[in-house]
């Protein structure tokens, strides 16, 4: 399959949470409100069906619809330049290929592909290489490697495997949710950025990643504070490292609090409370998070900064 395979441009990307109503159906007005706030906050792209988007809890039709709604909302509000990346992880090579086709049809420009983790003992390096290469061969849009051991039964792709996959003409980047800056730096220093974009998957190492040559960040915290992340990126590009470091400290503390809230449910609860749209409903077996009694002083500090920008 012939594809114009270029990496997504550097910047701030957010794996957007997906809002549901009390019946666990898509809450389309809240989804649109969230997409619009993220775009207005200066993100470079929105990842639909990252782990924060509850991809594995959606039907194929719902996954496609979420991508379509995101692209449509951006286009209708003058944000055509904001990319849509689709998480297309499936538990079989066949299903993953289908999700990549669906993603293109719904308006995504790139796919982010998780390594299947149901049978981790059988996912030897040769099988991992074969899986990602076969998906990339078949995908009508460029693919990226999503390394997130927490959701792939502990499978953690090392820099050797990712470096080999980076040689494929249709594999153009990676999201490292292992937050391993050493791995990130090995990749950025061995594969040209023009061919392969390396993103940390956590705001806690956003600036550290930039110093090590990353393309930006694809992280959960921009769901809460997109402007603050765009500001760190701007300051770094302008060489104002001391100022960027001060904001990065805020991001690191807030990201840790968000993790302790339980991430997906916590993000929705925080967004609902402080930005006035969406309800904190999640699909089972996840559960909603009540933040009224939680210590979120660092998150509140970041949100105050976000609203000042």
Is 35 a domain residue? yes
What count of Cα atoms within 13 Å lies in the side-chain half-sphere of residue 97? 11
Q: What is the pLDDT of residues 95-106, one digit of tens each?
A: 999 999 999 999
pLDDT at 150: 85
Please say whether the beta carbons of 228 and 302 come within 8 A: yes
Q: Tell me which residue has tokens 């249709």.
A: 170
Q: Tell whether 236 is covered by a domain.
A: yes
- What is the DSSP secondary-structure string of 57-95? GS-HHHHHHHHHHHHHHHHHTT-TTSEEEEE---SSHHH
Dist CA 167 CA 182 (whole Å): 20
- C-alpha 34/C-alpha 61 separation (Å) is 21
**Number of domains observed in the structure of the chain:** 1
Q: Does 2 fall in a domain?
A: no
Q: What residues make up the domain containing 94?
A: 11-308
Catalytically active residues, by annotation: 146, 175
The answer for residues whose C-beta is within 8 angstroms of residue 112's C-beta and 6 or more apart is 47, 50, 85, 86, 87, 88, 89, 143, 144, 146, 175, 218
Give the per-residue pLDDT at 109.
98
Is 161 labelled as part of a ligand binding site? no
- Residue 3 maps to a domain: no
For residue 155, give both structure tokens.
């499978």
| pLDDT tens sequence across 234-279 | 999 999 999 999 999 999 999 999 999 987 999 999 999 999 999 9
In-domain check, residue 1: no
Q: What is the pLDDT of residue 283?
A: 94
- The rounded average pLDDT for each run of 10 residues, N- to C-terminus, in the chain (309 residues) is 83 98 97 98 96 91 97 98 96 97 98 93 95 98 94 90 98 95 98 97 97 98 98 98 98 96 92 97 91 94 98
Domain-embedded: residue 77: yes
What is the structure's pLDDT at 179? Answer: 87
Q: Is residue 212 one of the residues assigned to a domain?
A: yes
57-83 pLDDT, tens digit per residue, is 999 999 999 999 999 999 999 999 999
> 6 in a domain, yes or no?
no
- Which CATH number does the domain housing residue 175 bear? 3.20.20.70
Strand partners, 216: 11
């Amino acid at each position: 399959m012939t594809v114009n395979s270029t990496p997504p441009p550097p910047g701030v990307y957010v794996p957007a949470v997906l809002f549901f109503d009390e019946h666990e159906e898509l809450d389309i007005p809240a989804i649109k409100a969230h997409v619009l706030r993220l775009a207005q906050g200066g993100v470079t792209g929105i990842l639909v069906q990252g782990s924060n988007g509850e991809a594995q809890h959606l039907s194929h039709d719902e996954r496609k619809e979420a991508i379509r709604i995101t692209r449509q909302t951006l286009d209708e509000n003058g944000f055509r330049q904001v990319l849509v990346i689709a998480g297309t992880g499936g538990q079989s090579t066949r299903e993953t290929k289908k999700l990549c086709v669906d993603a293109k049809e719904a308006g995504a420009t790139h796919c982010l592909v998780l390594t299947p983790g149901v049978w981790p003992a059988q996912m030897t390096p040769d099988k991992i290489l074969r899986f990602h290469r076969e998906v990339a061969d078949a995908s009508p849009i460029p693919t990226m490697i999503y390394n997130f051991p927490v959701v792939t039964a502990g499978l953690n792709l090392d820099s050797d495997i990712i470096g080999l996959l980076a040689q494929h003409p249709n594999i153009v980047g990676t999201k490292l949710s292992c937050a391993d800056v050493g791995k990130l730096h090995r990749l950025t220093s061995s594969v040209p950025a023009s061919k392969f974009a390396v993103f940390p998957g956590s705001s806690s190492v956003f600036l550290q990643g930039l110093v090590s040559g990353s393309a930006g960040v694809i992280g959960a915290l921009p769901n809460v504070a997109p402007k603050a992340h765009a500001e760190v990126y701007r300051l770094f590009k302008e060489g104002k490292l001391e100022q960027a470091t001060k904001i990065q400290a805020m991001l690191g503390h807030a990201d840790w609090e968000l993790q302790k809230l339980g991430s997906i449910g916590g993000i929705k609860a925080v967004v609902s409370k402080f930005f006035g749209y969406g309800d904190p409903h999640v699909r089972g077996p996840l559960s909603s998070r009540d933040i009224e009694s939680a210590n979120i002083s660092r998150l509140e500090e970041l949100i105050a900064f976000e609203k000042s920008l």
